[in-house]
Homo-oligomer: A and B are copies of this chain.
Amino acid sequence: MEPWSRVLAGRLDELELESETLRGNALGDPHVRPLWVYLPPGYDDESERRYPSLYVIQGLTGQLDMWRNRSAFRPNPLELTDELFAGDAPPAVVVWVDAWTSLGGSQFVDSPATGNYHTYLCDEVVPFVDARFRTRAAPENRGIAGKSSGGYGAMVTPMLRPDLFGGLATHAGDALFEVCYQPEFAVVARELRDHYGGSYDRFWEDFRSRPAGSKESDFHLVNAYAMAACYSAGELPFDVATGRLKPDVFERWLAWDPVRMVPRYADALRSLRAIWIDAGTRDQFSLDLGAEAFRREREEIGVTDVHFELFDATHMSIEYRYPLALAYLTERLTPR
């Protein structure tokens, strides 16, 4: 009952998927994974109809049930999505993918230090969904969207697999790594010095002994560590005593920077039917600058048909941006 909850016009299927590629991952995280599939109103009535599919992925520390988190006076993202498809938008199947790890996330890439989450998404989740739901199983009808690290995944996955994804939407996605990540290295060095005797191990020990996030620096420390696990097999790109950059390790990170990837994946990007990029102008990680840099790189390769928008907000509480982008993607990924 409203306002405490809303009955969905569509339907949410909560599934589980047993992953082969995640089995035995380095972190010992589960290889059986939750997967939610939202079916738009009318799905059950038109038994032959096929739909575009939109994969929605999460930011760092995201867990699937957080899509139900309610903020004051607001609908949650599931309700926002349902509201969209209960309205005038053309229908789509929305797939809520999990790629959580015990370090917070996977960046949706394959890494020996976390697991093969890119492979999991592309070669296990997508076929699983296409086999069980009436999707249009062509890249021109499949999109991917996310915020923060989810925005990162939405940028790089279609570059790597244009055979699967024909559209992307990134909200404040990680990009321009020297701007969004590097300033944190000094913060990490200081925190380790001041509170953990310079040792990441001691941080993790302390972190796991108390409610997560109960110290302000927690997220900085988790974030840098998790990114190293994803981008450089766990090797940190800085000296923990000083924050001094280790250029060779940071180069491995930069190879995964969406901005730097654009020239290498120019053909893939040119093949996309829908690109949505946005970010808040007060984003704490300056991801608005990353968005701008990503756009400029794409313009360099001739991709200019893009929805680009900077809006007045920080990195937080911007889940109301999701349905805007989902509507855009659906529009462009639905056959005329």
Contact = CB atoms under 8 A, between A and B. Distances in A.
Interface of A: 1-5, 16, 30, 32, 34, 61, 63-66, 68-74, 98, 100, 102, 104, 176, 178-179, 182-183, 185-186, 189-190, 194, 211-214, 219, 239, 241-245, 259, 281, 286, 288-290, 292-293, 296, 313, 317, 320
Contacts of A189: 289
B289 A243 contact: yes
Given A69-B70, A211-B317, A213-B72, A281 B4 contact: no
A73 B204 CA distance: 13
A4 B64 contact: yes
Given A100-B4, A190-B286, A74 B211 contact: yes
Contacts of A281: 190, 194
Contacts of A219: 72
B213 A74 contact: yes
Contact of A178 (B245, B259, B286): B245
Nearest to A285: B186
A179 B242 contact: yes
Contacts of A179: 185-186, 242-244
Given A186-B183, A317-B214, A98 B4 contact: yes
Contacts of A5: 34, 64-65
26 contacts: A1-B16, A3-B30, A3-B100, A4-B98, A5-B34, A5-B65, A65-B68, A68-B68, A68-B69, A69-B70, A73-B212, A74-B212, A176-B243, A178-B244, A179-B186, A179-B242, A179-B244, A182-B183, A190-B286, A190-B289, A211-B317, A214-B320, A242-B289, A242-B290, A243-B289, A244-B293
Contacts of A185: 179
A186 to B, nearest CB: 4
Contacts of A70: 63, 65-66, 69
A264 B72 CA distance: 35
Contacts of A211: 74, 317, 320
Contact of A61 (B30, B73, B176): B73
A129 to B, nearest CB: 18
A178 B189 CA distance: 13
Given A176-B243, A179-B185, A213-B317, 11 more contacts: A4-B65, A63-B70, A66-B69, A178-B245, A186-B289, A190-B289, A211-B317, A214-B317, A241-B292, A242-B290, A244-B259
